[in-house]
């Protein structure tokens, strides 16, 4: 994501001719775009993206489980007090 932000920023600076980027050759300006593309291809090929999404989903599920468990414990305690 950071490479993509850098790539778009450099491209905009080059197009709008903002110094010192306006004097850079195009390959230097487009290099972060190529790196972002290569990173995306590698992440999909290696399974990095899938592992990250599974870990994120597991963290959410675990947090939901803990919250529900605490809520159930609170409700069970309240019903015993009556």
pTM of the model: 0.67
What does the H/E/C string look like for the chain? CHHHHHHHHHHHHHHCCCCCHHHCCHHHHHHHHHHHHHHHHHHHHHCHHHHHHHHHHHHHHHHHHHHHHHHHHHHHHHHHHC
Could you report the average pLDDT of every consecutive run of 10 residues in the chain (82 residues)? 96 96 96 96 95 96 88 68 56
Q: Parse the chain into domains and list their residue ranges.
A: 1-46, 52-82
């Amino acid at each position: 994501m950071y490479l993509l932000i850098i790539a778009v920023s450099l491209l905009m600076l080059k197009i709008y001719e903002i110094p010192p980027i306006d004097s850079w050759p195009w390959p230097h300006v487009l290099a972060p775009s190529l790196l972002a593309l290569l990173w995306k291809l590698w992440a999909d090929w290696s399974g990095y993206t899938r592992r990250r999404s599974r870990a994120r989903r597991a963290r959410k599920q675990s947090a939901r489980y803990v919250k529900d468990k605490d809520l159930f414990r609170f409700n069970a305690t309240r019903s015993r007090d009556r």
